[in-house]
């Protein structure tokens, strides 16, 4: 099953120029920002911005950049600022909106004519609405956010029918606004968590990209870069480069072909997102599992994002990197606390080894989680961490490890061993995968530990790269201590 965007007759020169421009963008980004998540965010922002133009049909891409304050979200969104000044603007930057401003809710009569303010939804058509302060838009009490979220939900499919009681044009009480747009918003985890159930009940439309906090070294580097006197000029140059890059893409769209095996990955990711966003109520064994959404909408959104990323990269077939970014978005789009658990799962997994009695090959390893690990690494309370893992298990995404089949690899600790939760294969095989082979496979901590050199350098998403770096550090430490275990233990 191959699908293409609009085709030109001169693909190769266009693609060569696009890949060269992207390389220049990355050079500027590395001179301005610290942390591996910033280049990823900027590529996702560019892909979201062009998606209404290069994938003109199907559900639009609505992406939230999700992270704590001062973590680079706003800076990534602001790199698109110059595209709002195009004659045929690619982006519209609006932070404060109301129900009326979205839907053209106020009109007045001037003489014999009716004048009504143009609705924002009309301005958004074929554009990307960029809102660096989406948290502020939703930051009030959930009931106050309902009118805006409900309006956005109604407008998602490209058509909104409204009726107002002040003034009616053309004798009809119904105002029809046909508009389709992408959305890029910046939000904190706390605000997204506050509105998670409301968004789920309205019908999930938003995807998310969850940021890792900067490490100490990355924060020091970020502080040093902020002191650079050339920073304003570099930022201006970066915005100009991004604007030129995206203009070339939308003015000369090329064919994008998605291979069959990539379609299978997209379908698997869509199924995981649908299950990971399912509402779960109740406590203990008395859980009520809500209706799981269908996979068609999120599949089409992930597919549109992948196609747009491919064009941003200057390619005609999705790269492993583009697929990894889509995977990161898919896993971040779970219910917020579950998404946090998956980040911990990827960055700081508990490692288990198959028991010889299972008949599995020797040294078969799997990544898992325990309640103490999730609580320690995420900041969730032990009770909340336990509930999150309990929910994931009842949603069919995790299972409790059978002590007769799996052996926990960890430093000996006093007391009763913790309950170990193992992700089911459909989830596990995409967690730390590089997507450079088919079918995708889980790359375990021992793999990172045993590989000499930096064999995965530049080919991992930030959470996986941090795990690989930790394993390399342990490997070097073990080289100076002959008595150390050959398989680096992960504290549980």
Put simply, whether the predicted model's pTM sits higher than 0.95 gets the answer: no
> pLDDT per residue over 432-458, tens digit each?
999 998 999 899 998 888 876 567 877
**Residue 19's pLDDT is what?**
82
**Residue 158's pLDDT is what?**
55
In this structure, the number of other CB atoms found within 10 A of the CB of residue 13 comes to: 10
CA atoms within 13 A on the CB side of 449: 17
Asked whether 300 and 59 are in contact (CB, 8 A), the reply is: yes
**Residue 141's pLDDT is what?**
64
Asked whether 412 and 438 are in contact (CB, 8 A), the reply is: no
Looking at domain 11-254, its CATH architecture is 3-Layer(aba) Sandwich (3.40)
**Worst-scoring range by mean pLDDT, 290-294, 319-323, 412-416?**
412-416
pLDDT band at residue 305, thresholds of 50, 70 and 90? very high
> pLDDT per residue over 336-391, tens digit each?
999 999 999 999 999 999 888 887 888 889 999 999 999 999 989 999 999 999 99
Tell me the average pLDDT across 312-329.
Answer: 96
**Residue 484's pLDDT is what?**
43
3 state SS of 163: coil
* Measured distance CA(147)–CA(153) in Å, rounded: 10
* Measured distance CA(331)–CA(427) in Å, rounded: 9
Listed by start position, the domains of the chain span 11-254, 338-479
**Worst-scoring range by mean pLDDT, 262-276, 305-319, 411-425?**
411-425
pLDDT band at residue 223, thresholds of 50, 70 and 90? very high
**Residue 159's pLDDT is what?**
54
> 408 or 114, which is more confident?
408
pLDDT beyond 50 at 166? no
pLDDT beyond 80 at 162? no
Looking at the chain, the whole-number percentage of residues with pLDDT higher than 90 is 52
**Residue 482's pLDDT is what?**
55
| CA 331 to each of CA 18, 34, 177, 463: distance values in angstroms, whole numbers, following the listed order | 28, 23, 33, 12
Angle at alpha carbon of residue 382, lines to 448 and 334, rounded to 5° = 60
**Residue 192's pLDDT is what?**
85
> 95 or 331, which is more confident?
331
pLDDT band at residue 334, thresholds of 50, 70 and 90? very high
Tell me the average pLDDT across 125-147.
Answer: 79
What's the token pair of residue 126?
Answer: 């074929």
Whole-number average pLDDT of the chain: 84
* Measured distance CA(81)–CA(224) in Å, rounded: 24
CB-based contacts of 156: which residues, under 8 Å, 6+ apart? 59, 60, 62, 205
Cβ neighbourhood burial of 120 (10 Å; 0-12, 13-18, 19+): buried
**Residue 407's pLDDT is what?**
86
pLDDT beyond 70 at 171? no
């Amino acid at each position: 099953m191959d699908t293409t965007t609009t085709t030109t007759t001169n693909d190769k020169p266009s693609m060569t120029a696009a890949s060269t421009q992207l390389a220049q963008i990355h050079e500027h980004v590395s001179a301005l920002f610290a942390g591996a998540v910033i280049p990823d965010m900027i590529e996702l922002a560019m892909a979201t911005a062009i998606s209404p133009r290069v994938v003109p049909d199907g559900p639009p891409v609505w992406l939230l950049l999700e992270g704590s304050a001062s973590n680079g979200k706003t800076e990534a969104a602001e790199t698109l600022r110059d595209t709002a000044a195009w004659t045929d603007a690619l982006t519209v930057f609006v932070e404060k909106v109301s129900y009326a401003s979205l839907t053209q809710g106020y009109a007045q009569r001037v003489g014999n004519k009716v004048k009504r303010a143009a609705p924002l939804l009309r301005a958004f058509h074929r554009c990307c609405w960029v809102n660096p302060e989406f948290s502020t838009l939703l930051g009030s009490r959930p009931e106050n956010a309902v009118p805006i979220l409900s309006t956005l939900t109604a407008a998602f499919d490209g058509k909104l029918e409204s009726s107002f009681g002040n003034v009616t044009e053309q004798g009809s009480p119904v105002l029809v606004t046909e508009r389709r747009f992408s959305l890029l918003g910046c939000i904190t985890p706390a605000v997204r968590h506050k509105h998670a159930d409301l968004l789920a009940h309205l019908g999930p439309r938003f995807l998310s990209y969850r940021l890792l906090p900067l490490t100490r070294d990355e924060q020091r580097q970020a502080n040093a870069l902020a002191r650079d006197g050339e920073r304003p000029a570099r930022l201006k140059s970066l915005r100009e480069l991004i604007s030129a890059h995206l203009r070339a893409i939308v003015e000369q769209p090329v064919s994008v072909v998605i291979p069959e095996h990539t379609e299978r990955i997209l379908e698997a990711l869509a199924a995981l997102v649908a299950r990971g966003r399912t509402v779960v109520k109740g406590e203990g064994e008395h859980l009520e599992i809500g209706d799981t959404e269908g996979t068609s909408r999120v599949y089409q959104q992930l597919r549109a994002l992948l196609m747009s990323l491919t064009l941003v990269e200057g390619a005609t077939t999705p790269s492993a990197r583009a697929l990894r970014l889509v995977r990161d978005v898919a896993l971040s789009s779970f219910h917020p606390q579950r998404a946090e658990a998956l980040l911990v799962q990827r960055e700081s997994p508990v490692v288990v080894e198959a028991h010889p009695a299972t008949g599995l090959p020797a040294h078969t390893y799997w990544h898992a989680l325990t309640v103490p690990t999730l609580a320690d690494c995420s900041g969730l309370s032990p009770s909340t961490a336990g509930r999150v893992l309990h929910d994931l298990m009842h949603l069919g995404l995790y299972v409790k490890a059978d002590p007769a089949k799996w052996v926990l690899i960890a430093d000996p600790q006093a007391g009763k061993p913790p309950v170990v939760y193992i992700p089911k294969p459909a989830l596990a095989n995409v967690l730390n995968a590089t997507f450079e082979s088919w079918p995708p496979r889980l790359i375990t901590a021992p793999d990172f530990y045993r590989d000499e050199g930096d064999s995965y350098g530049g080919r991992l998403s930030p959470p996986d790269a941090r795990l690989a770096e930790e394993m390399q550090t342990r490997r070097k430490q073990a080289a100076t201590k002959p008595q150390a275990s050959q398989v680096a233990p992960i504290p549980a």
